Amino acid sequence: AGMAMAFAREGSGRVALSFIGEGGSSLGEWHEAINLCAARRLPAVFCVQNNQTALSTPQADQSAVRVFADKAIGYGIPGVTIDGTDADEVAATFAWAVERARAGAGPALIELVCMRMCGHAHHDDMLYLGKDPQASWEYAQLSEQGYANPELYAFWAARDPLALYAARLEADGLLGPGDVDRMKSEVTALVEAAARAVIDAPWPSPDDAGRGVFAGEPPRVRIDVLDPAVRTPVDYAPGLPAVEDAPPFDRTGKTFLEAVMLGVGDALRADPRVFLYGQDVGGQYGNAFLLLRPLLAEFSDRIMNSPLAEGAVLGVCVGAALAGQRPIGEMQFNDFVATGFNQLVNNAAKIRYRWGGSVPMVVRMPWGGLRHAGPYHSQNTEPWFYRTPGLKIVTPSTPADARAMMASALADPDPVLYYEHIALYRDPRVKQLLGDAPPTPIPIGQAALRRAGDDLALISYGAFVHVAMRVADRLAKDGIEASVLDLRTIAPIDRAAVLRVARHCSRVMIVHEDSRAGGIGESLAAIIQEEAFDSLDAPVRIIGALDTPVPYSPPLEHAFLPSEDEIERAARTLLAY
C-alpha cells in the first residue's frame, strides 16, 4: 500500500503488486492495506494464492466465503477467481488488472486457485508428503503418513503447469523436439551453480552482527566497562556541559502545539516528497487537536486522511519511505500505536539490518498524562520501542526544540518516533518566541542541560523536564543547586551527557512520567551505576508513576503520577543519604 501511495504521488505509472496466501489474507494488516488502496484508488493489484492449505489449516477454517475473490465486493473493487495453473489465464488477468490500476481505477483482487504441492517450508515436507522428496521435475508421491489431502493432491498433480504448458507450446509449434529437456537442463545447471555458490561462500564475520542497525553508525559491540583499558581514560571529575542556549519562555510566544505545526509546515515547504497521513488530519479538520488546521489550505493534497487503521498508516509510511518518499505518519494518540505494532517493530525497525533498505519516516506520537484522559489516551508507550533496535525516539520538551527536532527527524535516513506531549500543547508557561525562518536542526541523540548545579542531577524528558525545573527552583531556595538534564532523545541516549552530569554531581535522580518497572529510568540507572559507580555518593533514584494503568479520575491520576512535592521530598532524602 505504501509503495502504491508513492507511485500515485509521483505519477510514475508504476503499479504495486501484493502476493499472499489464502491463510495470510486473514490478517488484519492485509484487510487494512487493500481497504486503504481501494478508498484512494491507488495503483495496486492484490493477489491471493489460494493453495488450499495454510501450513496445515484447511481453507474452510480460514473463511466461510465461496471463493476468496468474493471478498472484493466488501472493498468496492472487482475480484476474479482463475485457475492458478494456467499461465495464459494468469498473464491475461494480471495485464487487465495492471492496466486498470494504471488508468486510475484502483486495485483489483485476483484469486489464483491451485494447491501447494510441497510442505509449508523445507522442514515441513516430510510431514506434508509423508517423506522427504528428492529434487525432481515431477511431483513427489504421497505416502499415508502425510497430512496433504490425497484426492486434492491427485487432482492438482494432474494439472502440473510445467507439463501442461510445455505440451501446449509443443502442440502450437512454439517448442520443438528436445527444447523442453534442454531448458530443464539449463535451469538445473543454474540452480546447482547458485546452490554451490551459497555452499562455498564463507560464513559472515561475527563482527557483522553489530552492523547496520542505523545508517552511518559504528558497529555495536559489547564493552566491559570494568576493563582497566576502558576505565583508564575516563575523567571521573568532569565539569558540567554548558547550559543550552535557548529562547526564554515568553507568554507572547508560540505554544508547543504551534511549534510542532511550524515544524511540519517547514518540512512540507522544503521537500515535495513530504506528506502527512493519519486519521482526521485532512479535509476541514486538521487533526484531533486542530494542530494541522493552519496548513490545510496550503497543503490540502499532502495532508491526507487515512482509514481508522493504525497498521495501514504505518504500513503506508514504511512502503512510501522505501519508494523514496518522506512520510509523516500520525497516531491520533500514541496509545493507538498498539494496533500497528508489527509495522514498526518487525518492518520499519529491521529493514536496514536485514537487507540494507532505508526507511526515512517520521511517526508523530501525541502522548502523556496530566490531562485526566484515562488509560487509552494517556499512556507512555516510549518504553515499548526503546528496546527495539532500529527505531529512533525523540521527546522534545520546548517549542524551539519541537520545531528544530522535527527538521532533524525528517532529515534522518532511519525511522523516527516523534513524541509530542499533549499536556505541553497549549501550556501558557511553555511558550517561546520563534522566528519565521526554519531553525537549525538539533542533532538526534544530543541531550540539553537546562540548569546547572553541583549538588544533584535531575534527569528527565518530555513534560517532566518542566516538573524537574520547578523542583530545582524549590531546592534552590534552600541553597541546594541541582542540574537538570533534558534527554531530548531517548534512542539513542546521549550516554556521554548522562555520565558527565552523574560524575559531576555524584547524586542522581531520574524523574519520568512513565511507570518505573521496565522504564527508561531503570535502564539509565543501570548505565550510571555500571559506568559511574566510583563517582556516586548515593544510590541512583528513579521516580516514576505507579505500576498500574493510567486512571481516569482526576484524584486517582494525581496519585498515579509523581507530584512535585513527592519529587522534592525524594530529592532531599537523596541529598541527606
- Residues noted as catalytic: 377
Q: Strand ranges (DSSP E) for 320-410?
A: 326-330, 362-367, 392-394
Taking alpha carbons only, the member of 529, 324, 487, 305 closest to residue 396 is: 487
Q: In Å, how far are 378, 482, 505 from 575, measured between CA atoms? A: 32, 10, 11
**74: number of Cβ within 10 Å:** 14
The DSSP bridge pattern shows strands 326-330 and 541-545 to be unpaired
Backbone angles phi, psi at 542, to 5 degrees: -125, 125
The answer to whether the beta carbons of residues 349 and 388 sit under 8 Å apart is yes
The dihedral region occupied by 372, where left means phi > 0, alpha psi between -120 and 50, and beta the remainder, is: left
Tell how far CA 56 is from the center of its chain.
31
Separation of alpha carbons 127 and 145, rounded Å: 7
Element (H, E) at 21: strand 16-21
The answer to whether the beta carbons of residues 520 and 383 sit under 8 Å apart is yes
The DSSP bridge pattern shows strands 489-491 and 456-460 to be unpaired
Q: Characterize 491-508 residue by residue with b for buried, 16 or more Cβ atoms within 10 angstroms of its Cβ, and e for exposed.
A: bebbeebbbbbbbbbbbb
State the helix-helix crossing angle for 564-575 and 464-476, rounded to 10 degrees: 50
Separation of alpha carbons 128 and 375, rounded Å: 46
State the helix-helix crossing angle for 28-40 and 310-322, rounded to 10 degrees: 70
Give the contacts of 444 (CB within 8 A, at least 6 positions apart): 392, 394, 405, 408, 409, 412, 416, 489, 492
Separation of alpha carbons 485 and 493, rounded Å: 12
Angle, alpha carbons 403-407-409 (nearest 5°): 110
The DSSP bridge pattern shows strands 249-254 and 432-432 to be antiparallel
Backbone angles phi, psi at 419, to 5 degrees: -90, 120
